[in-house]
């Protein structure tokens, strides 16, 4: 079909919803509103065709296991978000990444995956994960890497654009 399904995973509070809302609506809010699970659709052009970009904003690690497996099975690309201010949030991505690899099997090498360190606007004192540590983690997983800020709009369009490019180039 012409549906391109991108699934966003990550611990609560890392900025998953903020990244999606920044990309879809161009807005940002300071308040934290926990998500159930939301899907956003946007019509885009890809490979000279019209297709629907479908972004699923998950609840992260508190997602029901059955829902998590279903999101992975149906997903074409994955954004794995941690906060650069929380090493714990990077560690919480490991089991999700392992589950994605398990469920996708051989296919995994063909699937666009981006490890994203969000909140890169935060001050140096609040940082717990450096850019090079994030890069090294992504390299060891064999996935792409980017730091973003939903707050300042740094690398947000680039993130989604890069995923679409990875899809085209495979």
Residues that bind Mg ion (CB under 5 A): 16-17, 35
> If contact means CB under 5 to 8 A according to the sort of partner, which of Mg ion, ligand GDP, none does residue 22 touch?
none
Please enumerate in sequence order all residues whose Cβ is within 8 A of that of 3, keeping only pairs 6 or more positions apart, or say none: 51, 52, 54
Chosen from Mg ion, ligand GDP, none, partner binding at 122 (C-beta under 5 to 8 Å by type): ligand GDP
Alpha-carbon gap, residue 159 to 152, rounded angstroms: 14
Radius of gyration of the chain measured on its C-alpha atoms: 15
Q: 3-state DSSP call for residue 19?
A: helix
For residue 134, the surrounding DSSP H or E stretch is: helix 131-141
For ligand GDP, give the closer residue by CB, 21 or 138. Answer: 21
- The CB-of-36 to Mg ion minimum distance in angstroms stands at 9
How far apart are the C-alpha atoms of 144 and 140, rounded to whole Å? Answer: 10
Beta carbon nearer to ligand GDP, 17 or 63:
17
Give 3-state DSSP helix, strand, coil % of the chain, rounded to 5: 45, 25, 30
Q: Which residues sit at the interface with ligand GDP, rule CB under 6 A?
A: 10, 12-18, 29-33, 35, 118-119, 121-122, 149-151
Q: Least CB distance from residue 140 to ligand GDP, whole Å?
A: 23
> Which residue's CB is nearer to ligand GDP, number 109 or number 123?
123
Shortest distance (Å) from residue 28 CB to Mg ion: 13
Of 32 and 64, the one with the shorter C-beta distance to ligand GDP is: 32
């Amino acid at each position: 079909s012409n549906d391109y399904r991108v699934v966003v995973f990550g611990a609560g509070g890392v900025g998953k919803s903020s990244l999606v809302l920044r990309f879809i609506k161009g807005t940002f809010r300071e308040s934290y509103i926990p998500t159930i699970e939301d899907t956003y659709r946007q019509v885009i052009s890809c490979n000279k065709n019209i297709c629907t970009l479908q972004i699923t904003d998950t609840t992260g690690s508190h997602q029901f296991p059955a829902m998590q497996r279903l999101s992975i099975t149906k997903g074409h690309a994955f954004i794995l978000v941690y906060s650069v201010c929380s090493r714990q949030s990077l560690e919480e991505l490991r089991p999700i990444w392992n589950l994605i690899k398990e469920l996708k099997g051989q296919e995994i090498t063909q699937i666009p995956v981006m490890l994203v360190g969000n909140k890169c606007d935060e001050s140096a004192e609040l940082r717990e994960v450096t850019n090079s540590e994030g890069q090294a983690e992504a390299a060891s997983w064999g996935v792409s890497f980017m730091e973003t800020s939903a707050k300042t709009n740094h690398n947000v369009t680039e993130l989604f654009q890069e995923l679409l490019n990875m899809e085209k180039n495979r």
